[in-house]
Amino acid sequence: MTPPSAPPPASPLPGLPPAEAAQIDLGADVTPDDLARYAVALANTRGGVIRVGAGQGSAELHPLQVTHAIFALSGGRLSVNVVRAQGEAALSIFVPQAPYLLSAPDGSVSGWDGHAFVPVSPADAPVSAQQDYTASVPVTASLADLDPLEVARLRSISHRGALSQLADLDFLRELGLISEVQTAAGTELRPNIAGLLLAGTERALRAHIPQAEVCYYHHATSDVEFQFREDLLRPITAALTRLSELIQARNSFTPVQVGLFRIEVWDHDEAVYREALLNALTHRDYQLRDVVHVHHYPDRLEIMNPGGLPGNITAENILRHQPKRRNPLLAEALARLGLVERAGVGVDKMYAMMLRCGKEPPEYLTYPDAVSLSLHNPGFDARFVRFVARKQEEMQTLSLDMLIVLSLLGREGEASRAQLARALQLPEDRTPRLLGMMEERGLIVSERVGRERINRLSAQSLAALRGRDAAPTAPSPGARRPRPQDQAAQVALQLAARPEGVRNSDLRAACDLSTQAAWRVLRRLTLSGQLRKLGQGPRSVRYQLPEG
């Protein structure tokens, strides 16, 4: 190895600091594993360029050998661009700065001080702003990687406004999907990662971002075995269209009569799952080599995408946290096309639409490197659908917060202020104003039981939900009313002791529950080991006591 003899070339990846990036010149006999060590060390400092001199060894060195070695050493967390150059350097490897320290399989963390490997601790790691990977430009990308049909699809989406009147290159430039890159021949226009994700050909996606693939699985039962699979490596809008076709082909609706009008409640509302899919494709971590998985079960839709929630967002604060965009350029382009909201209200919309349809709110499970979203469909509460629709007819707008409270009280029967605060994802001291407003409107009632203040649906709300008059029942002073879900659980266990077990319909009839509320009770008992589930499908499943 010899010290760099010239300033490092400008990196083709926008956002990298070329002035501070290092350049390493290596001999032609270097191995792929050695190159991987240098690449990880550069990524742990400021990034840079590795040049491999011309020779017999480098001539036999394939770029895929280098990327595979780097992938293995970094655990798939480092993506580089390898270019076979002409002239002095047989290979040029452009290494971005990693957003976090990368360790070797043995746990060691190395950096590059300009001359040699040095150990790096988290305290020594340079602080850098989070880079937008979708703004980077692959070294070998060109305008030929863009599909004219996909560009036309984008133009048809943005049919309103002056944007659709621009020529193709101006249209793409205005959306930020192509960038000017300085080359030896001058300035060239090349697509960035966002451009390829929205308008790239399948060949370009496979060459530059194969992790953009989406895998759809259809399960005829709730088992892990699937009966149909389709892998989609297409631009985001084309993939979204095909996913909608696949889901709708297995989707059905139930009509709910509200006065003279009929509301169609779908197993999976298209507006809900499209919003969920767009969120996954927009905010996933494209630097990870994993793909998005969509599992379509009879009773739920699960969407799993690589990359944990950005910033300090968690499943417990996702409704309230300020929106964080992992891929700002991609998100901005989709917003300008009208596909996503700049205000970051997609999660709120999903919550509101599912609650208005008498269903469970979306369920998030988060991991350090992945997010799973479940849209449950064990059934729906038709009475709640009618209740919300009638309130709208009476010009009583129900906000998302009100829907959360009403839905929870309808399922659980009662809840303390602390329980409602958790469901609302609010500090407990911010709930009294909302609950007071709902009391004034006659939606709920609250009373002090012991040291807690317990909230329940009002007699008027219960009457509207049950379709008959309902009189409030006052508990004895200081006494705690048995929780309806506890009573239903006891009934479920009694029914499950029968030879035929208990079905959802049995528990509904015995406890006057909705399909969804009965499912929640049976699911809770199954997860706790008090019941075992037999059969498949929402209409044939039954529950019995565990054997022995």
Nearest to 507 by CA among 499, 524, 498, 519: 519
pLDDT in tens, 83-131: 765 555 477 888 877 766 787 777 778 888 888 888 876 555 554 445 7
pLDDT of residue 214: 96
Residue 236 Rama label (left phi>0; alpha psi -120 to 50; beta): alpha
Residue 137 Rama label (left phi>0; alpha psi -120 to 50; beta): beta
Domains and CATH numbers, the chain: 22-119 (3.30.950.30), 137-209 (no CATH), 214-376 (3.30.565.60), 386-466 (1.10.10.10), 486-544 (1.10.10.10)
Distant-in-sequence, close-in-space partners of 427: CB < 8 Å, separation ≥ 6: 421
Residues of the chain with pLDDT under 50: 1-20, 89, 127-129, 468-482
**Distance (Å, whole) CA 474 – CA 454:** 12
Q: CA 339: distance to chain centroid?
A: 16
pLDDT of residue 199: 96
**Distance (Å, whole) CA 438 – CA 530:** 37
Whether residue 505 contacts residue 495, with contact meaning beta carbons closer than 8 Å, is answered with no
pLDDT of residue 166: 86
